[in-house]
Every structure is written in structure tokens, then in C-alpha cells.
């Protein structure tokens, strides 16, 4: 990770609202895809980066909507839940995302300047169009089909529950 003082932000706190945990899950059984097998998407780590197939498809589509010269950069994806803490990452349906340039230079739109705000808007637009929802307190955290998404979208039930590996 190259975020310097921003490091550690990906250890997210649980959502401040309890409602998502009450959303029922109808697990669809979709497999996890390793992004090392998806050359269209870039990852910040060299190892295995896993996401549900339907989420991968949406990210590939979202990337085509970015302005020329920009790509998605996946900072985090599936990780088992430590105990009872629920972040969405344990479902394989949540990804931590930022933008990078085509030459690989990572953008970090967490700053407060207008350029960063515009980059966050660009990221947000592309991901919203393909059906991902943002965890409101973390601009980099997006998901589709997990409990948080179902709650935010009023979807009635989640498609993806926790995955144990
Ligand atoms: Zn996250």
C-alpha cells in the first residue's frame, strides 16, 4: 500500500447503523473470482484478490464508464470476518476501490481539494450506475448484493452471505 499516513483506513469500523444485520440473506451461491484471472481490473496487491462473479462483472463495466486514462484500482476485497464483525468483505461482495491512471499511478481522492472531490464524484458515478452502493462513512468501500447494499437500496434481502474458506 502506498497511502502513507492514510494507511489503515481499510480496517473499517462496523456500520454505525444496526439495520443491515437484520436484512435476510438468500445466498445465491455465486462463486468467488480471483482478480488475477481478470486482466481488465488492477489490484494493489500481488496475491489472491477474491470477489463474487457478479461484482467483478459490474466493476469491469464501471471501468468502461470512467474518463479516458483512468482505471479502477482494487485495494481490498474478500477477507474472512474476524469474529462477529461484519464489514461486507466476508461476503466477497464488497470492494475497496480507488482510481489510478492508465500508467498505474494511483490517485487518492480522499483529500479535501476540488480535484480529489471531482475524482470521488467520478468514481461514485461509475460505480452507482452499475448497481453498487457506497458505505457512507468510507468513500472507497462499495458493495453489491450484501446486507449493507440491500439495506441502502431497500432490496428486501441480500444475495450474498458470508463465505468461509
Ligand atoms: Zn471496505
pLDDT at 22 over 90: no
76 CA → ligand 1 middle, Å: 7
**What is residue 75's predicted lDDT score, i.e. its pLDDT?**
95
Spatial separation of the C-alpha atoms in residues 39 and 30, rounded to whole Å: 20
Spatial separation of the C-alpha atoms in residues 106 and 49, rounded to whole Å: 18
74 CA → ligand 1 middle, Å: 10
Q: Going from the N-terminus, what domains does the chain have, and what CATH number goes with each?
A: 21-153 (3.30.1380.10)
As residues whose CB is below 5 A from the ion ligand 1, the structure lists 96, 141
**What is residue 10's predicted lDDT score, i.e. its pLDDT?**
56
Burial profile 23-35: b = 16 or more Cβ within 10 angstroms, e = fewer = bebeeeebebbeb
**What is residue 2's predicted lDDT score, i.e. its pLDDT?**
40
Mean pLDDT computed over every residue of the chain: 88
Amino acid at each position: 500500500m502506498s497511502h502513507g499516513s492514510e494507511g489503515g483506513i481499510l480496517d473499517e469500523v462496523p456500520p454505525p447503523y444496526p439495520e443491515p444485520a437484520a436484512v435476510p440473506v438468500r445466498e445465491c451461491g455465486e462463486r468467488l473470482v480471483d482478480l488475477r484471472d481478470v486482466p481488465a481490473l488492477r489490484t494493489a496487491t500481488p496475491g489472491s484478490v477474491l470477489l463474487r462473479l457478479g461484482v467483478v462483472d459490474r466493476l469491469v463495466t464501471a471501468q468502461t464508464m470512467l474518463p479516458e486514462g483512468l482505471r479502477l484500482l482494487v485495494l481490498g476485497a474478500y477477507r474472512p470476518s474476524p469474529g462477529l464483525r461484519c464489514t461486507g468483505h466476508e461476503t466477497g461482495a464488497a470492494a475497496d476501490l480507488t482510481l489510478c491512471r492508465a500508467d498505474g499511478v494511483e490517485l487518492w481522492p480522499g483529500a479535501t481539494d476540488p480535484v480529489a472531490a471531482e475524482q470521488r464524484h467520478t468514481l461514485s458515478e461509475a460505480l452507482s450506475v452499475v448497481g453498487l452502493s457506497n458505505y457512507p462513512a468510507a468513500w472507497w468501500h462499495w458493495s453489491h448484493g450484501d446486507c449493507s447494499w440491500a439495506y441502502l437500496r431497500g432490496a428486501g434481502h441480500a444475495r450474498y452471505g458470508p463465505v468461509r474458506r
